[in-house]
Chain A
Amino acid sequence: MSLVLRNIHKHYGSVRANDGVDLEIAPGELHGLLGENGAGKSTLMKVVSGFIAADSGSIEFDGAPLGVASPRVALEHGIGMLHQDPLVFRPFSVLDNFLLGSAGGVLVDRKGGRSSLAEMAARYGFDFDPDADARSLTVGERQQLEITRLLWRGARVLILDEPTTGISEPQRVKLFAVLRQLAAERLIVIFVSHKLEEVEALCHRVTVMSRGRVVGRRELPTPRHDLVRLMFGDITLGGARPEVTLGDPALSLRGVAARTRGAPLHADLTVRRGEVLGLAGLEGSGQRTFLRLCAGLDPVGSGTIVIGGHDLAGKPYRRFLDAGVHYIPAGRLEEGLIAGLSVAEHFELVGPNRSFMVDRGAADTLAAERIAEFSIKGEAATTAEALSGGNQQRLLMAMAPDHPVLLLMEHPTRGLDLGSAQWVWDRMLRSRAGGTAIVFASSDLEELQRYSDRIAVFYEGRIIAVIPASTATSSSLGLLIGGVVS
Chain B
Amino acid sequence: MKRLRSAPLALAAALGAIVVILFAAGAPPLEAMRVIFEGAFGTTDRLGATLMAWTPLVLAAAGLLITFQAGLWNIGVEGQIAMGAIGAAWMARSVEGPSLVVVPLTLIGGAVFGAAWALIPAWLRTRFRVHEIFSGVALSFVAAAIAVYLIIGPWSRTGVASTSGTDIFDPRAWLPTIGSWRASPVGIGAAVAAVAAVLVLLRGSRFGLRIRAVGRNAESAHLLGIPTQRYLVAAFAMCGALAGIAGTVQATGFHHKLVPSISGGYGFLGVLVVLLAGFRALWIAPIALFFAAIQVGSTQLSLRLGIDSSLAGVIQGALVLVVLIVGGFQVYSAARGPVVTGEGEA
Contacts and interface: CB of A to CB of B under 8 A. Distances in A.
A binds B: yes
Interface of A: 42, 50-52, 69-72, 83-87, 89, 100-101, 161-162, 192, 297, 317-318, 321, 327, 329, 333-341, 345, 348-350, 353-358, 360, 385, 388-389, 399, 415
Contacts of B224: 349-350, 399
Contact of A341 (B212, B225, B345): B212
5 contacts: A42-B345, A336-B220, A358-B204, A358-B205, A360-B204
Nearest to A356: B205
B221 interface: yes
Closest 9 pairs between A and B when the two form their complex, measured CB to CB: A85-B344, A84-B345, A87-B342, A84-B344, A161-B345, A71-B337, A338-B217, A335-B219, A83-B344
Contacts of B342: 83, 85-87, 89
Nearest to B222: A317
Nearest to A363: B209
B223 A87 contact: no
A219 B215 CA distance: 49
Nearest to B208: A358
Q: Which of A42, A83, A349 neighbours the largest number of chain B CB atoms within 10 Å of its CB?
A: A349
Contact of A353 (B206, B216, B225, B227): B206
Given A100-B338, A318-B225, A353-B206, A83 B345 contact: yes
B216 A338 contact: yes
Contacts of B158: none
Nearest to A337: B220
A275 to B, nearest CB: 24
A188 B257 CA distance: 75
Contact of B346 (A42, A345, A360): A42
A87 B224 CA distance: 26
B339 interface: yes
Q: Which of B207, B210, B337, B338 neighbours the largest number of chain A CB atoms within 10 Å of its CB?
A: B337
B221 A338 contact: yes
A350 B345 contact: no
A50 B335 CA distance: 11
Q: Which of A297, A338, A340, A385 neighbours the largest number of chain B CB atoms within 10 Å of its CB?
A: A338
B336 A70 contact: yes
A349 B210 contact: yes
Contact of B204 (A87, A337, A338, A357): A357
Q: Which of A85, A355, A399 neighbours the largest number of chain B CB atoms within 10 Å of its CB?
A: A85
A334 B339 CA distance: 16
Contacts of A87: 339, 341-342
Q: Which of A161, A327, A357, A388 neighbours the largest number of chain B CB atoms within 10 Å of its CB?
A: A357
Contacts of A355: 206
Contacts of B52: none
A327 B223 contact: yes
B13 interface: no
Contact of B213 (A52, A84, A338): A338
Contacts of B200: 357
